[in-house]
Amino acid sequence: MSSQSGQARPRHVAVIMDGNGRWAKNKGWPRLVGHRRGAERVKQIVRACPDLGVNWLTVYAFSTENWKRSTEEVLGLMGIFARYIEREADSMAAEGVRLRFIGARDRLTGKLSQLMDGIERRTAGNTRLNLTVAINYGGRDELNRAARLMAERIAKGYLGPDAQLDLADFLDTAGHPDPDLVIRTSGETRTSNFLPYQAAYAEYEFTPTLWPDFTPDHLAEILDKFGMRERRFGGA
């Protein structure tokens, strides 16, 4: 891994991990093999982030639209998520990683939801890296749920007409810093309903590298490029 000193580094990096299926297809393997390899790549990137100056990492694992995929692939993905949590719980706790999840949990299995709850509690005190995994997440769905929650609080009288309302306080990411940089792998240039509110002023990087091939060195190179960008946030 390489990095250039003296440059601004993103505190929070978000990643659309795309290309697992194509990676497997290119090799003549089933799509789930690509997803399993992608999960292994997540572990490598998570371990590299603190040394690269990244304190927050958010990864897009499964969108609200991914339910349209075959039943075999969806069930396989849910199994991969559960095994990842079970296998990585000890190392995350030991390495200071705090793991949280965003997205609606109503369609997830009871076992997966319990595993998610358990590792969130177990790693709640960790501070070396904040890892957020988006499962059954969609930006529009998140905004709709946040708006409903805000309306409910107002209707019940918890929030009066003079309250300083901020929609961000009702999002799944309440309390998280906004991403400074969003990376999408695989060559696609869509944002795919990922963090539309939070990433309003993020820098974007689209790389042709498929996610299973995306190494810490690729990440370090993109972080160096980020340091050369001028971020004005609407100013002159």
Binding residues: 18-23, 31, 35, 63-65, 67, 69, 184, 190-192, 203
Instruction: Determine the Cα–Cα distance for residues 63 and 70; give it in Å rounded to an integer.
Output: 14
Rounded Cα distance between 16 and 195, Å, is 10
In the annotated binding site for Mg(2+), the residues are 18, 203
Q: What type of residue is 74?
A: V
Contact assessment for residue 153 and residue 32, using Cβ atoms and an 8 Å cutoff: no
Q: Calculate ∠ Cα 113-127-98, nearest 5°.
A: 15
Instruction: Provide the CB-side half-sphere exposure for 168 (13 A, CA).
Output: 11
- The yes-or-no answer on residue 66 being catalytic is yes
Phi, psi of 205 (to 5 degrees): -135, 120
Binding-site positions for substrate read: 19-23, 31, 35, 63-65, 67, 69, 184, 190-192
Q: Which of 18, 136, 172, 180 is catalytic?
A: 18
**172 noted as active-site residue:** no
List the one residue out of 45, 75, 56 whose CA is nearest residue 180. Answer: 56
Please identify which of the residues 55, 66, 126, 193 carries the catalytic annotation. 66
Residues with catalytic annotation?
18, 66
